[in-house]
């Protein structure tokens, strides 16, 4: 029996697809029956701002983001869990293409399923918004990756805190498949000003070293090698 809230684990290298369609009338009915506050349980503040116009909410834009979240959730094939709406944020890349950023429970489900990148596409036609989510090739996970001697080793299969930090950066930057330990994360905008607070917060959860957010030295965060030396006290190859 799969644990509650688990995600189906595919074979390594598999690609997943999730599709959803939302009719704007359903969103209009939600607003009529419950008021504008209902959307704050489904859309983040940035998503609501992106869906706002001078004359009110753009129903097609809001519906597109709702459909995209559903598509991402379907892609993960999670069991016995309701969609945690705010753990998926749909934003616009330069040029207008949509991007899904995962956090919290959804990010954990994606990691469990070996899904390390997700591309989304949103389209509108009349009163309908359609979204598709496609994952990159899945990585092997704890459930399907053997140790070199053919037996499963807990030590070999559980990511280290530093590896988890690198995975978080890769999820934010799907154009990368790996990160050179000496790559300047800030100069190359793998960790930009908006993501830096989240980066520091995650680092604090992964290490026992106290982080004084009022007196941070930006140089300590430029590369994975510097982060490792400062906060993990570990060598990086």
Q: Could you report the per-residue pLDDT of 51-71, keeping only the tens digit for each?
A: 999 988 999 999 999 999 999
CATH, residue 32? 3.90.470.20
Task: Report yes or no on whether pTM surpasses 0.75.
Answer: no
- Give the end of a domain, one of 135, 170, 185: 135
Residue 4: which pLDDT band, with cuts at 50, 70 and 90? low
pLDDT at 145 over 50: no
Dihedral pair phi/psi, residue 128, rounded to 5°? -120, 145
Percent of the chain with pLDDT over 90: 38
- The domain tally of the chain equals 2
pLDDT at 142 over 80: no
The reported pLDDT for the residue numbered 154 is 40
Question: Within 10 A of 47 (CB to CB), how many other CB atoms are there?
Answer: 24
Residue 33: which pLDDT band, with cuts at 50, 70 and 90? very high
CA dist 173 and 167 (Å) reads: 10
State how beta strands 128-135 and 17-23 pair.
Answer: antiparallel
Both structure tokens of 51: 């869906």
CA 235 to chain centre: 27
pLDDT at 9 over 60: no
Both structure tokens of 179: 């990160």
For residue 165, being part of any structural domain is answered with: yes
The reported pLDDT for the residue numbered 149 is 47
Whether residue 174 sits in one domain with residue 109: no
Report whether 70 belongs to an annotated binding site.
yes
Q: What is the overall mean pLDDT for the chain?
A: 81
Whether residue 110 sits in one domain with residue 41: yes
Whether residue 127 sits in one domain with residue 65: yes
Whether residue 96 sits in one domain with residue 23: yes
The reported pLDDT for the residue numbered 3 is 53
For residue 142, being part of any structural domain is answered with: no
The reported pLDDT for the residue numbered 189 is 87
Whether residue 212 sits in one domain with residue 110: no
- Give the end of a domain, one of 135, 150, 173: 135
pLDDT at 84 over 80: yes
Longest dimension (CA), the chain: 64
Whether residue 125 sits in one domain with residue 166: no
Whether residue 124 sits in one domain with residue 170: no
Give the residue numbers spanning the domain of 65: 17-135
Query: 121 with 131: CB under 8 angstroms?
Result: yes
User: Where does the chain have alpha helices with state H?
Assistant: 24-34, 45-50, 59-76, 104-112, 154-157, 161-172, 193-206, 224-227
- Give the end of a domain, one of 135, 169, 203: 135
Whether residue 127 sits in one domain with residue 79: yes
Whether residue 119 sits in one domain with residue 32: yes
The reported pLDDT for the residue numbered 2 is 47
Whether residue 165 sits in one domain with residue 78: no
């Amino acid at each position: 029996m799969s644990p509650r809230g688990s995600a189906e684990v595919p074979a390594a290298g598999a690609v997943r697809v999730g599709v959803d369609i939302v009719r704007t009338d359903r969103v209009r009915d939600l607003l009529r029956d419950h008021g504008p506050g209902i959307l704050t349980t489904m859309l983040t503040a940035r998503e609501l701002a992106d869906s706002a116009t001078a004359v009110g909410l753009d129903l097609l834009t809001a519906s597109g983001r709702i459909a995209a979240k559903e598509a991402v959730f379907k892609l993960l094939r999670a069991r016995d869990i309701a969609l945690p709406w705010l753990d998926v944020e749909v934003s616009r890349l330069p040029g207008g293409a949509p991007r899904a950023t995962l956090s919290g429970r959804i990010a954990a489900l994606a990691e469990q399923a070996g899904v390390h990148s997700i591309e989304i596409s949103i389209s509108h036609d009349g009163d309908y918004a359609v979204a598709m989510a496609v994952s990159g090739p899945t990585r092997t996970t704890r459930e399907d990756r053997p140790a070199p001697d053919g037996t499963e080793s807990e030590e070999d299969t559980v990511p280290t805190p530093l590896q988890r930090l690198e995975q978080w950066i890769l999820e934010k930057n799907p154009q990368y498949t790996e990160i050179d330990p000496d790559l300047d994360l800030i100069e190359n905008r793998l960790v930009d000003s908006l993501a830096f607070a989240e980066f520091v917060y995650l680092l604090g959860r992964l290490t026992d070293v106290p982080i004084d957010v009022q007196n941070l030295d930006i140089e300590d965060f430029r590369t994975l090698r510097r982060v490792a030396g400062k906060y993990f006290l570990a060598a990086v190859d």
